[in-house]
Structure 1
Amino acid sequence: MNHDSNHSKAFIILLAGMMSLVALSVDAMLPALVAIADDFELANPAHAQWTITSLFIGLSVGQLIYGPWSDAVGRKPPIYVGYLLFIVGSIICVLSTSFTWLMVGRVLQGMGAAAPRIITMALVRDKLKGAEMARIMSVVFSVFIIVPILAPAVGQVILSLSHWRWIFGMLLAMAIVTGLGFWRGQEETLAVEKRRPLSLKSFIEGLKFLLAERSALVYTIVSGLVFGAFMGYLNSAPLVFIKLYDQADNFALLFALSAVAVGAASLVNGRLVLKLGMRLMINRALWGLLVLTSVFCLLLLATNGVPPLWWFMAYLIPAFFCVGILFGNLNSLAMEPLGAIAGMGSAFVASISTLVAIPIGSVIGLSFNQSCYPVVIGFWLVAASSLLLIKCFDKTSAEAEQSASA
């Protein structure tokens, strides 16, 4: 019994470490963006955001590959390749002599981190089911929520003690430790008889299936829109808090407050979604975000786009609570009709939503103009367009049902 308990704890710690690699790779870098722009003498400090965007580009490509690949060859080989790519990318980042080489390293980091991020879910599904699976996943996701809260503080501590390159050194060390832990402590979980052959035909058929399922496609796009606004905030946060509000020392704390709101929303959503349903939760969260942002836009007009910091935080915390409600529900609704291609469907949904988010987040980040306007207007546009897209889909679906019954 004690042996099983220890094994379960080790499994949870390993999964949490593997899944946290993406969050650490994104959020630990945020306090360093201003320093990176200065070191590489970037003409526009906002261009430092490409250290975030390039990681998501690699992540979107990797997510599309690893899910179907792991279904065909087992879980371990793709994870080994992912770790190798991440380690190579981290080394390139540490040794980068130009901003271009830093971007190359970040793309490789993203492609590599996609493997443990995507396949850890499959590892749990392979090993467990029912209440035990839910227990393990709840613990893992609790850690996954905590990491983005603490990651900027980790980056800020490293930055205060040494050069920003040591943040990549920390990521390299974490990849080596969790990779070795996976190699030594985790057996293959997908039996040979349960593997599915990987072919271009099956890939194309899976994509056609997703595109034909309008509900899945609509909620995947809406998920990408919301993630795009969130990415725009990630890209802009160092410039807003450090440059605009001169809060370099408090950046990690201010960022953590908004991250806590996302985590709190996940807990509240778990209680309410069974009573209200995912669609109603999404509708209320989008309307809440739209109304809240509309009111705050009036405050922006009254303060020339630079409200007092506490006003801005008073807006961000409930806004991110709405975003936290949206994240899990949108992904679940996107996956709901894709049971026949669950593994590949998960890869498609994750990759397409990220590809939708990347240009939105980039535009918001590059639009920084010494004010809070780009971030706030980005949230308003995303909330409004998401509500419009869902309303059009619901109307079309209702008309289709009426035609079918007639």
Structure 2
Amino acid sequence: MTQTKPVKRDSMKLPIPLWEFVAMMAAVFGLQALGIDVMLPALSLIGEELQIANPNDQQLIVFAFILGFGFPQLVFGPISDRFGRKVLLQASLIGYFLTSFMCMIAPSFYWLLAFRFIQGITCAGTRVAAGAVIRDLSAGRAMARIMSLVYTVFMIVPIIAPALGTLVMTVAPWEWIFGVLGAFSFLVFMWTQFRLPQTLPEEDRRPFSLKSIREAFHAVLTNRISFGYMIASGVIFGCLFSFIGASEQVFDDVFGRGDRFWIWFAGIAGVLAVMNYSNSRVVDKWGMRRISHAVVLVFIALSLVNLLWMQFVGQDFWVFYVLFAMTFACFGMMGANFTSLALEPMGKIAGTANAVYGFITMTLSSLLGIIVARVFDGTVRPLLIAYVLLGLISLSVILFTEKGKLFGVGEGKEP
């Protein structure tokens, strides 16, 4: 296949049909979600079999993967800018495949955490490569539209993953959940090997040198819009990871509904998928800033209402679940728009920019998620307090980034 030339602002040029490209990128992004969500129903069982003393420590099986996902992106970004996206993608998929089976044979809890951390590193390579491919082939609101479609399909993974994990455990030991991850990564490898061309032309590749890397990092970190939306995204997505880490305990310990955990989790993920798709339909008309700024305000308001109800009226499951699902839906109109706003100014250093974005957002959100999830006290109060506070902090960062003006009238106004 021939290489694809970079595209102009607010346009796209795809080497394969749009539906296939969206499905392919969603599958690559899905390696991260599947690596987290498929084992959520198994955490208690793994904790029992591996004799974990503190029940909260079972969350580390999730967070080891997430932490491994963060820092390596800073290395993978310059690699993708030098050698191209496909080399990094294929090598990372091979690594993901191998570490999946290493997790199956882990002799102890600490070895499992080590292998999960390495698996997170390999997944980081797939995320950097896929994000750079999307930026190579699209820009502006067109990129936001593609990202929304990718996230919509990608959200099918957390909808079905807990159910898939439950199904695996009905026919095989929990270790085979990691076998599912290995099989999925192999299928993605074969698909991208034969259908995805190299998207970064030779003439646009940057030398792999300390000077080149330093210049690229400097360009990303000194751009007010890019850096601001990286921080805002990392802060508010700490809410998402705190729920993922403590979700089984919330539904089981707080509300006594752990037997149908996968159903409740799928419902929340389904609402999120709908909102991602909705964003792809309206972003061209309303713009990334207007939509994302508005839903941050809605996110804060819904979290505050839920907190006040749980605190002063009582921990009613259906009130919590409906309000929480609506709150979670806001992520569907923040993720793609924040990403597109951060990467829009970066152009030919999309690999490094996407790596810095991934590192900052993932590291910040995972650390905040760990802190919040670890203070779980048998109620939903710590979770909802964190949602309100982190939402307000994210809004403050956006206000600073846009010089005090929201809804598309600040610096870098959309055309």
TM-score range, shorter chain: 0.7 to 0.9
Q: Report the AA paired with residue 332 of structure 1.
A: S
- For 1:351-366, list aligned pairs within 5 A: 351-366=359-374
- The one-character-per-residue Cα deviations of 1:104-156 (angstroms, maximum 9, x if unpaired) are 11111111122233323444566789999999877654421212211111111
Using the TM superposition, name which of 115-124 and 242-251 deviates more.
115-124
Give the SS at the match of 1:249: helix
2:242 maps to: 232
The farther-off stretch of 112-121 and 360-369 is 112-121
Amino acid at match of 1:250: R
Q: Which position in structure 1 is the counterpart of 2:126?
A: 116
Select which of 86, 110, 113 maps to 1:76.
Answer: 86
Contact 2:129 2:351 in 1 (8 A): no
Relative to structure 1, the CA distance from residue 274 to residue 187 in structure 2 (aligned partners, 3 Å threshold; closer, same or farther) is closer
- Structure 1 segments unaligned to the other structure (5+ residues): 402-406
Q: Does 1:298 align with 2:308?
A: yes
* Counterpart residue number, 1:54: 64
Match of 1:380 in 2: 388
Report the Cα distance in structure 1 between the residues aligned to 2:141 and 2:290, rounded to whole angstroms.
Answer: 26
Q: Within the alignment, does 1:343 sit opposite 2:351 as a pair?
A: yes
- SS of the aligned residue for 1:170 comes to helix
| Aligned match of 1:321 | 329
In the other structure, the counterpart of 1:179 is: 189
- In the alignment, structure 1 residue 25 sits paired with structure 2 residue 41: no
Matched residues in 2 for 1:336 and 1:7: separation? 23
Which residue of 198, 203, 207 maps to 2:217? 207
The structure carrying a bigger helix percent of its residues is 1
Greater CA deviation, 91-100 or 70-79?
Answer: 70-79
The 10-residue stretch of structure 1 (134-143 or 227-236) with the greater mean CA deviation from structure 2: 134-143
Cα deviations across residues 302-322 of structure 1 (Å, max 9, x unaligned)?
A: 356xx1221111111110112
Say how many residue pairs are matched: 394
Structure 2 segments unaligned to the other structure (5+ residues): 1-14, 411-415
Query: What secondary structure sits across from 2:259 in the alignment?
Result: coil
Deviation, 1:277, is: 3.0
Aligned equivalents of 1:125, 1:337: Cα separation in 2: 11
Deviates more, 1:216-225 or 1:116-125: 116-125
Distance 1:133 1:301, change over 3 A: closer
**Which amino acid is 1:350 matched to?**
G
- Alignment partners' CA distance in 2, 1:169 and 1:384: 41
Residues 130-279 of structure 1: matches in 2 within 5 Å? Answer: 140-183=150-193, 186-279=196-289
The one-letter code of the counterpart of 2:312 is A
Letter in 1 for 2:386: G
Q: Distance in 2 between matches of 1:229 and 1:127?
A: 31
Question: Is the contact made by 1:74 and 1:190 (CA closer than 8 Å) also made in structure 2?
Answer: yes
- Give TM-score scaled by structure 2 length: 0.85
TM-score (norm 1): 0.87
Match of 2:376 in 1: 368
Distance verdict in 2 for CA 1:125–1:371, change over 3 Å? closer
Report the AA paired with residue 61 of structure 1: F
- Aligned-residue RMSD, C-alpha: 3.1
CA contact (8 A) 2:168 2:177 kept: yes
Q: Is the 8 A contact 1:227 1:357 kept in 2?
A: yes
| Residue of structure 1 equivalent to 2:54 | 44
Which whole-Å CA distance do the structure 1 matches of 2:197 and 2:313 have between them? 58
State the one-letter code of the partner of 2:305: V
- Give per-residue Cα distances to partners, 1:208-243, cap 9 Å, x unaligned: 222222222221111001111100000010111123
Partner of residue 333, structure 1 = 341
| Equivalent residues of 2:77, 2:356 under 8 A apart | no
The 10-residue stretch of structure 1 (350-359 or 64-73) with the greater mean CA deviation from structure 2: 64-73
Distance in 1, matches of 2:138 and 2:318, equals 45
Contact kept, 8 Å, 1:58 with 1:107, in 2: the verdict is yes
Shift in Å at residue 270 of structure 1?
2.8
In structure 2, the residue matched to 1:310 is 318
Deviation at 1:65, TM superposition (A): 2.5
Tell me: CA distance 1:222–1:11, structure 2 relative to 1, closer, same or farther (3 Å): closer
2:321 maps to amino acid = M
- Which letter maps to 1:205? E
Instruction: Kindly indicate whether the alpha-carbon contact (under 8 Å) linking 2:165 and 2:177 is maintained by their aligned counterparts in 1.
Output: yes
1:94 aligns with 2:98: no
Q: Secondary structure at the match of 2:70?
A: helix
